[in-house]
Structure 1
């Protein structure tokens, strides 16, 4: 009888311990493939770290390549609880996120991806108007990102301004499409997943995207020429946006875990993205792709566009109901300049140094007991 009692007690203890350690399962959504730098670190590794650091209280099941939500539905999907955290490309929802798109269209002000990733993250977490926009859309903003610089990856040579006229360029919408029109090209707004088909079928002359696409979207098989004119970089929306009921249901201690891990992968992602670009470009060059620098006609056309487009940004934002977009842009520019200076003082190839900077300058200043709750 004593042995039976001991066994019963042991079983009860084990069941209790197992239940306590069992992770709550949640959905994490990204529309890029798992091998992409925006997924493999900030989502796949991130999910493992969060499960470890929360002692199994939070376990994310990562859905990639649009297997849970298509790109245009990610904002609604996280709001409705289909996913508890998601990536969202802001240009898919310009009416719902006019402020996020306003700052996202500032991609030509500073084309350093690391600067823009950190500046957009601080803006998204701290700017009152932007915070109100997230709240209206039922999302708790967690952190941002930036692609590497966008280049023209083409199946035809583009050397001069004259060469680009009439060419069909896949663009990310917004300022990129306006730049295409400015130089006499034809902007084509399609998802990145359709770039290969467009170039292969001849419905596109160039895909304007980060050059990791040569590998991650297999564009090296259909691209013969790449022009390194820096056509901005993409950071509109968010890398991590959380469902409100989920965020409010977890403990402040676990919100701090998420903050710390986002700080780490904000920097890790940028380093890995640039490494992927370097490897993809070298592989494509080895396969015969030609890489050329822009001539003065293209550089001058880009400079003219950047100088003129801010008025368009402001006008578009006002049409979408944004009050005082000039004030918002001034605030965002100040953050860009701040991060340009801060990042010049650290080793930008050191993930830990970048993570520490993100924590001390951004995430440690946010109160995990109130952020996203009040």
Structure 2
């Protein structure tokens, strides 16, 4: 009788544990705007709205999965939801990288976050790519604009020649080469060391990195040339088995919360940038506008690089990348118009727009059910 009671207690404990044993993975630190709201607060809201049926334990700062392993990790069920930076896996996600490399087409982060989310949730070719990689796409994001944050003045096209720039890969690296700089590939976690040790002249990243990666301690100059913004991959990608195991009602909860935190994150990210830049300026960092020659070089690159994007996509097996780019551009233009008519500082208004234009149009009984 005692043995049976122990066995029953173990079974009960196991059931409770499995209900709470859902892992949420992000490789940024918990203080980052991409984690604070979209993962930490998101997990609490989801638990509340599902009456405890979905409880995510948030692992941040790469404590569960390193950046390059997040796609495989969610596919294999190490995480049930994860952030993934798409440029780490160009061979596995060629369509996503085609879209993600259009970062110079429109440098408004809010527009690109909403447009890339709608594309990722609705484009048939992109949906097939997610499925082939064992992931259910939940929603996107966008960093704020990328700026050159340097340990030496870089103000002009002449200044940038030969400079070693930390780039996010893809189109960013090609831009560096286009203007005669040297692209350096390294994760954001190593930017501080690179600038401090002198192996980098500039880190090209969103300016919240002045605080979130402590770059203000090693950056003396920032150039405000808007070198795109990063939105490749996804903010929420779900393990297929997990997604199929939860009820349609709980999938709808996830849809609603992702719509909210898609909006919340964008506002929080820009606030973090403003705070970080102001703090760095108080500590002596100089902020300079690019000269006209540098602006012109970026504009020339944007036009020239589209042919490279298409050629790379074809080499990776993408069928008709021209049509895919045309559809994506149409979504970007659509969101450029929609967001012009809403208060972009109002989280609730932006979330309502994300729901009505994107998430409410998804069928929670069939979406992601492969």
Q: State the TM-score, normalized to the length of structure 2.
A: 0.95
Aligned equivalent of 2:279: 283
CA contact (8 A) 1:21 1:57 kept: no
Cα deviation 1:132-178 (Å, max 9, x = unaligned):
00000000000000000000000000111000000000000000000
Cα distance in 1, alignment partners of residues 341 and 354 from structure 2 = 13
Residue 154 (structure 1) aligned with residue 165 (structure 2): no
Match of residue 60 from structure 1 = 56
Counterpart for residue 239 of structure 2: 243
Write out per-residue CA displacement over residues 240-293 of structure 1, whole angstroms, 9 at most, x where no aligned residue: 000000000000000000000000000000000000000000000000000001
Matched, 1:324 2:320: yes
- The whole-number CA distance in structure 2 between the counterparts of 1:253 and 1:227 is 47
| Corresponding residue number in structure 1 for 2:37 | 41
353-362 or 21-30, larger mean C-alpha shift? 21-30
Structure 1 residue 84 corresponds to structure 2 residue 80: yes
Equivalent-residue separation in structure 2 for 1:160 and 1:272 (angstroms): 31
Runs (4+) of structure 1 exceeding 6 A deviation are 19-22
Is 1:350 matched with 2:346?
yes
Deviation for aligned residue 1:23 = 4.4
The number of residue pairs the alignment matches comes to 359
Correspondence 1:167 to 2:163: yes
Q: Structure 1: any 5+ residue segments left out of the alignment?
A: 1-15
Alignment of 1:134-213 (within 5 A): 134-213=130-209
TM-aligned CA deviation for residue 186 of structure 1? 0.1
Paired position in structure 1 for 2:5: none
8 A contact 1:99–1:317 mirrored in 2:
yes
1:336-359 deviation per Cα after TM superposition (whole angstroms, max 9, x unaligned): 000000000000000000000000
- What displacement does 1:25 show? 2.3
Q: What SS does the aligned partner of 1:58 have?
A: coil
Q: Which runs of 5+ in 2 are unaligned?
A: 1-11
Distance 1:88 1:20, change over 3 A: closer
Larger radius of gyration: 1
Select which of 229, 239, 254 maps to 1:258: 254
Q: Distance in 1 between matches of 2:305 and 2:341?
A: 31
Q: TM-score, normalised by structure 1?
A: 0.94
* CA shift for structure 1 position 20: 8.6
Task: Tell me the SS of whatever aligns to 1:106.
Answer: coil
Question: Considering only aligned residues, what root-mean-square deviation do their CA atoms show, in Å?
Answer: 1.5
Tell whether the 8 Å contact from 1:22 to 1:56 is kept in structure 2 after alignment: no
| Residue 55 to residue 22, structure 1, CA distance change in 2 (3 Å) | farther
Check the 8 A contact 1:21/1:55 in 2, yes or no: no
Report what 1:304 is aligned to. Answer: 300
Distance 1:230 1:342 in 2: 22
Q: CA deviation at 1:204?
A: 0.1
Is residue 29 of structure 1 aligned with residue 25 of structure 2? yes
